Amino acid sequence: MILSLVSWKGGCGKTTSSIHLAALLASRGTTMLVDEDRSRNASNWAGRGAGVLPFKAYPPRALGTEARKHEHIVIDTRGGLEDQDLLDLYENSDIVVVPAVAESMTLEALVNTVQTLKKHGKDTQKLRVLFTMARRASGKTDKVAEAKNAVMELGIQTLQTTIRATEAFKDACDAGRLVKDTRNPVGKLAWMDYERAFRELTA
Ligand SMILES: Nc1ncnc2c1ncn2[C@@H]1O[C@H](COP(=O)(O)OP(=O)(O)O)[C@@H](O)[C@H]1O
Ligand SMILES: [Mg+2]
Protein backbone atom coordinates (compact mmCIF):
# COMPACT_ATOMS: atom_id res chain seq x y z
CA MET A 1 0.00 0.00 0.00
CA ILE A 2 1.17 3.54 -0.73
CA LEU A 3 -0.13 5.93 1.87
CA SER A 4 0.68 9.64 1.56
CA LEU A 5 0.16 12.44 4.02
CA VAL A 6 -0.56 15.95 2.77
CA SER A 7 -1.88 19.23 4.09
CA TRP A 8 -1.73 22.84 3.07
CA LYS A 9 -0.23 24.12 6.23
CA GLY A 10 2.61 22.94 8.36
CA GLY A 11 2.06 21.87 11.92
CA CYS A 12 -1.13 19.86 11.63
CA GLY A 13 0.36 16.45 12.31
CA LYS A 14 1.65 15.09 9.00
CA THR A 15 4.98 13.92 10.35
CA THR A 16 3.53 12.62 13.62
CA SER A 17 0.84 10.73 11.69
CA SER A 18 3.39 9.42 9.17
CA ILE A 19 5.51 7.94 11.94
CA HIS A 20 2.59 6.29 13.74
CA LEU A 21 0.80 5.01 10.63
CA ALA A 22 4.09 3.65 9.28
CA ALA A 23 4.59 1.77 12.57
CA LEU A 24 1.10 0.28 12.26
CA LEU A 25 1.65 -0.66 8.61
CA ALA A 26 4.93 -2.31 9.62
CA SER A 27 2.93 -4.80 11.70
CA ARG A 28 1.32 -5.93 8.42
CA GLY A 29 4.40 -6.03 6.20
CA THR A 30 7.77 -4.44 5.47
CA THR A 31 7.32 -0.69 5.46
CA MET A 32 9.46 2.27 4.47
CA LEU A 33 8.83 5.92 5.19
CA VAL A 34 9.80 8.39 2.46
CA ASP A 35 10.65 11.79 3.88
CA GLU A 36 9.87 14.38 1.21
CA ASP A 37 10.14 17.33 3.55
CA ARG A 38 13.43 19.20 3.30
CA SER A 39 13.27 19.86 7.03
CA ARG A 40 13.77 16.09 7.45
CA ASN A 41 11.60 15.94 10.59
CA ALA A 42 10.57 12.34 10.04
CA SER A 43 14.12 11.19 9.25
CA ASN A 44 15.44 12.93 12.33
CA TRP A 45 12.70 11.40 14.48
CA ALA A 46 13.60 7.93 13.25
CA GLY A 47 17.31 8.75 13.58
CA ARG A 48 17.00 9.74 17.23
CA GLY A 49 15.38 6.39 17.94
CA ALA A 50 18.40 4.65 16.41
CA GLY A 51 16.49 1.62 15.21
CA VAL A 52 13.69 1.33 17.80
CA LEU A 53 10.99 2.15 15.23
CA PRO A 54 9.80 -0.83 13.17
CA PHE A 55 10.61 0.90 9.86
CA LYS A 56 13.29 3.13 8.38
CA ALA A 57 12.96 6.61 6.91
CA TYR A 58 14.53 7.31 3.52
CA PRO A 59 15.07 10.33 1.30
CA PRO A 60 13.03 10.40 -1.95
CA ARG A 61 16.09 9.37 -3.96
CA ALA A 62 16.15 6.00 -2.20
CA LEU A 63 12.74 5.05 -3.63
CA GLY A 64 14.24 3.50 -6.74
CA THR A 65 16.30 0.98 -4.85
CA GLU A 66 14.25 0.56 -1.66
CA ALA A 67 10.65 0.44 -2.92
CA ARG A 68 10.98 -3.08 -4.26
CA LYS A 69 12.16 -4.32 -0.85
CA HIS A 70 9.05 -3.06 0.94
CA GLU A 71 5.37 -3.96 0.82
CA HIS A 72 4.19 -0.62 2.15
CA ILE A 73 5.34 2.94 1.59
CA VAL A 74 4.36 5.94 3.69
CA ILE A 75 5.15 9.35 2.17
CA ASP A 76 5.51 12.35 4.46
CA THR A 77 5.36 15.63 2.54
CA ARG A 78 6.06 19.27 3.29
CA GLY A 79 3.17 21.71 3.74
CA GLY A 80 1.85 23.67 0.77
CA LEU A 81 2.44 21.40 -2.19
CA GLU A 82 2.23 22.90 -5.68
CA ASP A 83 -0.82 21.76 -7.65
CA GLN A 84 1.29 19.49 -9.84
CA ASP A 85 2.97 17.86 -6.83
CA LEU A 86 -0.43 17.25 -5.28
CA LEU A 87 -1.75 15.71 -8.47
CA ASP A 88 1.32 13.47 -8.88
CA LEU A 89 1.04 12.33 -5.30
CA TYR A 90 -2.69 11.71 -5.58
CA GLU A 91 -2.24 9.72 -8.76
CA ASN A 92 0.50 7.57 -7.24
CA SER A 93 -1.00 6.82 -3.83
CA ASP A 94 -3.61 4.34 -2.69
CA ILE A 95 -4.75 6.56 0.17
CA VAL A 96 -4.04 10.24 0.84
CA VAL A 97 -4.44 11.13 4.50
CA VAL A 98 -5.02 14.81 5.24
CA PRO A 99 -4.27 15.55 8.89
CA ALA A 100 -6.23 18.58 9.99
CA VAL A 101 -6.88 20.65 13.05
CA ALA A 102 -10.49 21.71 13.57
CA GLU A 103 -10.41 25.40 12.64
CA SER A 104 -11.78 27.47 9.78
CA MET A 105 -8.47 27.72 7.90
CA THR A 106 -8.45 23.96 7.55
CA LEU A 107 -11.74 23.99 5.73
CA GLU A 108 -10.61 26.78 3.42
CA ALA A 109 -7.52 24.77 2.54
CA LEU A 110 -9.61 21.66 1.95
CA VAL A 111 -11.94 23.51 -0.40
CA ASN A 112 -8.89 24.58 -2.41
CA THR A 113 -7.61 21.05 -2.51
CA VAL A 114 -10.86 19.64 -3.76
CA GLN A 115 -11.02 22.36 -6.40
CA THR A 116 -7.49 21.60 -7.56
CA LEU A 117 -8.24 17.89 -7.86
CA LYS A 118 -11.54 18.48 -9.66
CA LYS A 119 -10.04 21.07 -12.01
CA HIS A 120 -7.67 18.37 -13.19
CA GLY A 121 -10.38 15.77 -13.60
CA LYS A 122 -9.67 13.81 -10.40
CA ASP A 123 -12.23 12.67 -7.88
CA THR A 124 -11.58 12.87 -4.13
CA GLN A 125 -12.16 9.20 -3.37
CA LYS A 126 -8.68 8.59 -2.01
CA LEU A 127 -8.75 11.48 0.46
CA ARG A 128 -9.25 10.78 4.16
CA VAL A 129 -9.30 13.69 6.56
CA LEU A 130 -7.89 12.84 9.98
CA PHE A 131 -8.54 15.36 12.73
CA THR A 132 -5.59 15.65 15.07
CA MET A 133 -4.67 17.56 18.24
CA ALA A 134 -8.27 17.38 19.42
CA ARG A 135 -9.07 18.76 22.85
CA ARG A 136 -12.04 17.41 24.73
CA ALA A 137 -15.23 19.23 23.74
CA SER A 138 -16.05 21.90 26.30
CA GLY A 139 -19.63 22.84 27.00
CA LYS A 140 -21.91 22.77 24.02
CA THR A 141 -19.41 23.42 21.25
CA ASP A 142 -17.72 20.43 19.74
CA LYS A 143 -15.38 21.98 17.19
CA VAL A 144 -14.25 18.64 15.82
CA ALA A 145 -17.81 17.42 15.27
CA GLU A 146 -18.64 20.68 13.49
CA ALA A 147 -15.54 20.47 11.33
CA LYS A 148 -16.24 16.82 10.48
CA ASN A 149 -19.70 17.75 9.28
CA ALA A 150 -18.38 20.60 7.19
CA VAL A 151 -15.82 18.29 5.57
CA MET A 152 -18.45 15.66 4.85
CA GLU A 153 -20.58 18.33 3.20
CA LEU A 154 -17.67 18.93 0.83
CA GLY A 155 -18.03 15.29 -0.15
CA ILE A 156 -14.71 14.26 1.39
CA GLN A 157 -14.38 11.20 3.59
CA THR A 158 -13.45 11.88 7.19
CA LEU A 159 -12.23 9.29 9.64
CA GLN A 160 -14.51 8.82 12.62
CA THR A 161 -11.46 8.54 14.81
CA THR A 162 -9.85 11.72 16.05
CA ILE A 163 -6.32 11.89 17.44
CA ARG A 164 -6.32 13.48 20.88
CA ALA A 165 -4.03 16.37 21.80
CA THR A 166 -1.27 15.37 24.18
CA GLU A 167 2.25 16.49 24.99
CA ALA A 168 3.23 12.83 24.80
CA PHE A 169 3.73 13.33 21.04
CA LYS A 170 6.48 15.88 21.69
CA ASP A 171 8.16 13.47 24.11
CA ALA A 172 7.89 10.72 21.51
CA CYS A 173 9.44 12.97 18.86
CA ASP A 174 12.30 14.05 21.14
CA ALA A 175 13.06 10.45 22.10
CA GLY A 176 12.67 9.07 18.58
CA ARG A 177 9.99 6.69 19.78
CA LEU A 178 6.30 5.97 19.32
CA VAL A 179 3.85 7.76 21.58
CA LYS A 180 2.97 4.51 23.38
CA ASP A 181 6.60 4.14 24.49
CA THR A 182 6.87 7.46 26.33
CA ARG A 183 6.53 7.86 30.10
CA ASN A 184 3.36 9.88 29.68
CA PRO A 185 0.41 7.54 30.42
CA VAL A 186 -1.80 9.43 27.95
CA GLY A 187 0.58 8.21 25.25
CA LYS A 188 -1.03 4.76 25.36
CA LEU A 189 -4.46 6.27 24.70
CA ALA A 190 -3.08 8.42 21.89
CA TRP A 191 -1.54 5.29 20.33
CA MET A 192 -4.96 3.63 20.50
CA ASP A 193 -6.35 6.60 18.58
CA TYR A 194 -3.87 5.89 15.78
CA GLU A 195 -4.73 2.17 15.95
CA ARG A 196 -8.40 3.01 15.45
CA ALA A 197 -7.64 5.46 12.65
CA PHE A 198 -5.48 2.81 10.98
CA ARG A 199 -8.27 0.21 11.18
CA GLU A 200 -10.60 2.67 9.48
CA LEU A 201 -8.04 3.44 6.78
CA THR A 202 -7.47 -0.22 5.99
CA ALA A 203 -11.04 -1.48 6.45
N1 LIG B 1 -2.08 14.87 18.58
C2 LIG B 1 -1.19 15.80 18.94
N3 LIG B 1 -1.27 16.41 20.13
C4 LIG B 1 -0.40 17.37 20.50
N5 LIG B 1 0.62 17.78 19.76
C6 LIG B 1 0.77 17.21 18.55
C7 LIG B 1 -0.11 16.19 18.06
N8 LIG B 1 0.29 15.83 16.82
C9 LIG B 1 1.38 16.57 16.56
N10 LIG B 1 1.68 17.39 17.58
C11 LIG B 1 2.77 18.39 17.66
O12 LIG B 1 2.49 19.44 16.76
C13 LIG B 1 3.66 19.88 16.10
C14 LIG B 1 3.49 19.70 14.58
O15 LIG B 1 3.31 18.31 14.27
P16 LIG B 1 3.94 17.65 12.97
O17 LIG B 1 3.57 16.22 12.99
O18 LIG B 1 5.40 17.98 12.90
O19 LIG B 1 3.14 18.42 11.84
P20 LIG B 1 3.51 18.67 10.29
O21 LIG B 1 4.38 17.54 9.84
O22 LIG B 1 2.19 18.70 9.60
O23 LIG B 1 4.22 19.99 10.23
C24 LIG B 1 4.78 19.04 16.68
O25 LIG B 1 5.38 19.77 17.72
C26 LIG B 1 4.09 17.81 17.23
O27 LIG B 1 4.76 17.26 18.35
MG1 LIG C 1 6.22 17.54 8.90
pLDDT range class, residue 79, cuts 50, 70, 90 = confident
Find out whether the beta carbon of 166 lies less than 6 Å from any atom of ligand 1: yes
Determine how many CB atoms are found less than 10 A away from the CB of residue 188: 13
- Number of helices (H), then strands (E), in the chain: 8, 7
Strand pairing class (56-58; 72-76): unpaired
- In the prediction, which pLDDT does 54 show? 98
Residue minimizing CA distance to atom 18 of ligand 1? 15
Find out whether the beta carbon of 16 lies less than 6 Å from any atom of ligand 1: yes
What CATH number labels 2-202? 3.40.50.300
DSSP 3-state of 136: coil
- In the prediction, which pLDDT does 142 show? 87
- In the prediction, which pLDDT does 169 show? 98
Find out whether the beta carbon of 162 lies less than 6 Å from any atom of ligand 1: no
- In the prediction, which pLDDT does 42 show? 98
**Shortest-distance ligand to the CA of residue 36:** 2
DSSP 3-state of 2: strand
**Shortest-distance ligand to the CA of residue 175:** 1
Ligand 1 centroid, distance to 119 Cα (angstroms): 31
In this structure, are residues 135 and 167 in contact, taking their beta carbons and an 8 Å threshold? Answer: no
